[in-house]
């Protein structure tokens, strides 16, 4: 059954030059290099300032505990690459060019961290004077962290949107940038804690504190801390941008509600709540982190699912309008176009049945189809999409030849088999 809607008539720019196609479809997308926009220079200035500050911050650690610092740098770099691999496996990185993710990650790790550290110290110092040092020792992280860190991470998302607003055409395109900003903050903060732990570690080992921080801050906390909080806060921004049919008051209310939820989750994580119900040993700490973190992970998953559904509907509409050819996008492929997990399951099944090469070819085919739909939806069909069309047909021919059933022994393949 064909689930596609009949596409509306669109200008035929298949054989037109790129300039003509651009005139027919003038929307386009901005790059993230916008020297004429104030947001670009504000972003660049804060990143440069944060880079200088962060390098100076780690310089002492590299002098005092060089092994721990280098090992920590290597471990948290691999940790970051694991998240990038996950996003790539789900085709989430197709939402923007690479510089968008580099800038978002850099903002979280350099700009937001640099601005949050002195602000956190100031808030805790003020609370110590107004209430008591004992109160700050227990509640200081919960009091300061959510206020400064959630706000500053989201500032980076807003700056990127102001630099290249029409890059953000789906809710998912905002969420993935928010997740990258949160990941950058998380990784640099974890590296900072790793180096400090090594400098103050009671034993001579410089390796053990790195491993302990990897387990506690990476494995037991990594899935439900900063990346998850910023994802939820970014969803409010995405909803504000995408649902222009709603009134300004409703859109602002949703954005504030998402930010408030992210703030509360961060506050709950940093607070001493539930600590009395668990032992002080390693097992008790692990259980405490899991119990606190699972609700955050579940909430983030709900927001991701909502954004993926909206993005899928958007991609389905674009594909119906601009890519009606069955040799470019078959009906079953069209159905999965908006579902990263479904596309991943198809690749996994392809690999199980036909081997790694078939899985890689299927992944390349899906990626080219996604790029074709997004390019055609932005600029229309033309010379700029021709390379994706040719790549799809070339990859499909290779894949069909690879997965075609072998002819019976002693017989010949019939014409058009496979």
pLDDT tens figures, 311-338: 999 999 999 999 999 999 999 999 898 8
Q: What is the pLDDT of residue 380?
A: 86
CB 24 within 8 A of CB 12: no
Task: Indicate if the pLDDT at residue 86 is higher than 80.
Answer: yes
Work out the percent of the chain whose per-residue pLDDT is above 90. Answer: 74
Model confidence at 408, in pLDDT bands (50, 70, 90)? low
Show the DSSP H helices in 323-382 as ranges. Answer: 331-336, 340-354, 356-379
CB 321 within 8 A of CB 13: no
Three-state secondary-structure class, residue 238: helix
Three-state secondary-structure class, residue 225: coil
Q: What is the pLDDT of residue 129?
A: 95
CB 172 within 8 A of CB 95: yes
Q: What is the pLDDT of residue 409?
A: 58
Region of residue 33 (left: phi > 0; alpha: psi -120 to 50; beta: else) = beta
Q: For residues 29 and 328, what is the distance between their CA atoms, to the nearest angstrom?
A: 24
Model confidence at 108, in pLDDT bands (50, 70, 90)? very high
Give the Cβ contact number of residue 36 at 10 Å. 6
Q: For residues 73 and 191, what is the distance between their CA atoms, to the nearest angstrom?
A: 7
Task: Indicate if the pLDDT at residue 310 is higher than 70.
Answer: yes
Q: For residues 249 and 136, what is the distance between their CA atoms, to the nearest angstrom?
A: 36
């Amino acid at each position: 059954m064909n689930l596609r809607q009949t596409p509306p008539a669109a200008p035929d720019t298949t054989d037109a030059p790129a300039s003509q196609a651009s005139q027919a479809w003038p929307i386009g997308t901005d790059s993230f290099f916008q020297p004429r926009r104030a947001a670009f220079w504000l972003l660049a200035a804060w990143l440069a300032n944060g880079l200088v500050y962060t390098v100076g911050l780690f310089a002492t650690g590299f002098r005092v505990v060089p092994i721990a610092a280098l090992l920590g740098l290597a471990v948290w770099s691999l940790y970051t690459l694991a998240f990038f691999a996950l996003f790539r496996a789900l085709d989430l990185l197709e939402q923007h060019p690479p510089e968008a993710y580099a800038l978002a990650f850099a903002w979280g790790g350099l700009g937001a961290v640099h601005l949050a550290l002195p602000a956190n110290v100031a808030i805790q110092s003020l609370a110590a004077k107004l209430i008591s040092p004992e109160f700050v020792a227990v509640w200081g992280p919960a009091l300061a962290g959510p206020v400064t860190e959630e706000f500053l991470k989201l500032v980076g998302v807003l700056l990127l949107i102001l630099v290249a607003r029409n890059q953000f055409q789906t809710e998912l395109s905002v969420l993935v940038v928010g997740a990258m900003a949160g990941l950058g903050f998380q990784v640099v903060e974890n590296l900072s804690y790793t180096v400090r732990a090594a400098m103050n570690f009671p034993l001579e080992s410089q390796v053990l504190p790195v491993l302990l921080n990897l387990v506690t801050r990476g494995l037991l906390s990594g899935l439900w801390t900063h990346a998850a909080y910023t994802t939820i806060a970014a969803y409010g921004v995405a909803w504000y941008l995408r649902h222009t049919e709603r009134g300004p008051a409703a859109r602002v209310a949703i954005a504030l509600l998402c930010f408030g939820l992210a703030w509360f989750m961060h506050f709950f994580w940093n607070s001493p709540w539930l600590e009395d119900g668990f032992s002080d040993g390693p097992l008790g700490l692990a259980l405490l982190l899991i119990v606190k973190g699972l609700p955050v992970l579940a909430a983030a998953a709900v927001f991701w699912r909502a954004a993926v559904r909206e993005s899928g509907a958007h991609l389905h509409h674009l594909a119906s309008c601009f890519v009606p050819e069955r040799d470019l996008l078959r009906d079953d492929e069209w159905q999965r176009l908006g579902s990263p997990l479904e596309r991943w399951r198809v690749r996994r099944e392809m690999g199980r049945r036909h081997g790694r090469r078939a899985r890689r070819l299927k992944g390349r085919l899906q990626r080219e189809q996604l790029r074709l739909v997004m390019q055609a939806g932005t600029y229309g069909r033309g010379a700029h999409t021709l390379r994706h069309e040719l790549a799809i047909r070339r990859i499909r021919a290779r894949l069909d030849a690879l997965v075609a059933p072998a002819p019976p022994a002693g017989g010949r393949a019939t014409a058009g088999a496979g």
